[in-house]
A = this chain, B = another copy of it.
């Protein structure tokens, strides 16, 4: 089959990869209907992580072709969505709501790689969720978004305890930040401040529920959030970048007792203990336990309550994946959907 492999910074190619097959009785093999490029794929693309023959892609929707003998919740012909982390669904961590830290966790990125025609999904019962039926093509982007970018924005909003009466600041205007805005709105937040200096992203943030836009960054951005919140800071902050600057901006924008949900994959970040201590914020984040939220998110999408697929502003055939990486790297696209 054809699939995307990264051979080094900026070097993304669509090549022949081995055909996926059932290995364990808990596996499923799916044919990808759609997949996409993640902001986190840009870390190795930009040389911030090693990439030497890395199978790319960890977001996926598709149709089950075959299942192992122990799989009971999905069957051939089902349309399914899965998390970007494989999870067995039965261990203590899964049952506590942290399938992203399943004792059998495996990142789809770099091993399975779903920027491809087909994929073997281990622990299919614990990882995949089937939709109620075959979706309209118009629903596919939104269902695909649930696989990571929506699920991650959702987790950030939950970790930030966004909810009624709360003011939520969102640091990062990539697809995850934008869907953090949508999640905060769905969770009932009163005021949602998107931090963005790009007109197109500001517009989408407003459409997803942002009530305010802050264009300033760093200290000036923090000062502006404080101005908007009686000098106290937001109740909640969503961090969706992963740099030192974005983490500190999120923490400093949050009032004492408030909550910071951080989901930007942390790169070269060191949190100063004394500042964290005296800030008195709550910190929680990490790789989103997307599988926890999938049934609810699929419901909301199926019922046309939310339309997270709007973050995809470029669609390409899988064969042109390299052009998709370039477009995201140059910020010409928010998020690129690939059709195998």
Chain A residues within CB distance 8 Å of chain B: 92-93, 96-98, 100-101, 103, 230-232, 242, 244, 247, 255-257, 262, 265-274, 276-287, 289
User: Are A92 and B271 also in contact (CB < 8 A) when A277-B262, A277-B265 are?
Assistant: no
- The A contact surface, by secondary structure, is mixed
Q: A271-B276, A273-B271, A277-B286 given as contacts; is B266 within 8 A of A101 (CB)?
A: no
Known: A271-B271, A276-B286, A282-B282. 10 other contacts (CB 8 A): A92-B255, A93-B232, A98-B280, A100-B280, A101-B256, A101-B280, A270-B271, A280-B284, A280-B285, A282-B283
Q: Decide if A283 touches B286 in the complex (CB within 8 Å).
A: no
Shortest Cβ gap from A95 to chain B (Å):
10
Indicate if the CB atoms of A267 and B273 lie closer than 8 Å: yes
Choose among B230, B272, B284, B286 the residue that contacts A92 (Cβ–Cβ < 8 A): B230
Cα–Cα distance between A128 and B303 once the two chains are bound (Å): 54
Chain B residues in 8 Å Cβ range of A276? 266, 271, 283, 285-286
A282 to chain B: closest residue by CB: B284
6 contacts between A and B (CB under 8 A): A93-B257, A97-B257, A98-B256, A256-B286, A277-B286, A282-B284
Which chain B residue shows the least CB distance to A101? B256
- Whether B266 pairs with A274 at a CB distance below 8 angstroms is yes
Q: Residue of B at shortest CB range from A100?
A: B280
Q: Judging by beta carbons under 8 Å apart, are A266 and B273 in contact?
A: yes
Q: Are A286 and B282 in contact (CB under 8 A)?
A: no
Bound complex: CA of A255 vs CA of B273, how far in Å? Answer: 21
Residues of B within 8 A of A96 (CB): 255-257
The reply to whether B286 and A284 contact each other, CB–CB distance below 8 Å, is no
Q: Are B277 and A266 in contact (CB under 8 A)?
A: yes
When distances are taken between beta carbons in the complex, the residues of chain B under 8 Å from A289 are 280
Taking CB as reference atom, which chain B residue is nearest A96? B257
**Distance of A43 from chain B, by nearest CB (Å):** 12
Chain B contacts of A247 at CB under 8 A? Answer: 273
- Give Cα distance in the complex from A119 to B267, angstroms: 49
Q: Which residue of B lies closest to A105 (CB)?
A: B256
Minimum distance in angstroms from A240 CB to a CB of chain B: 13
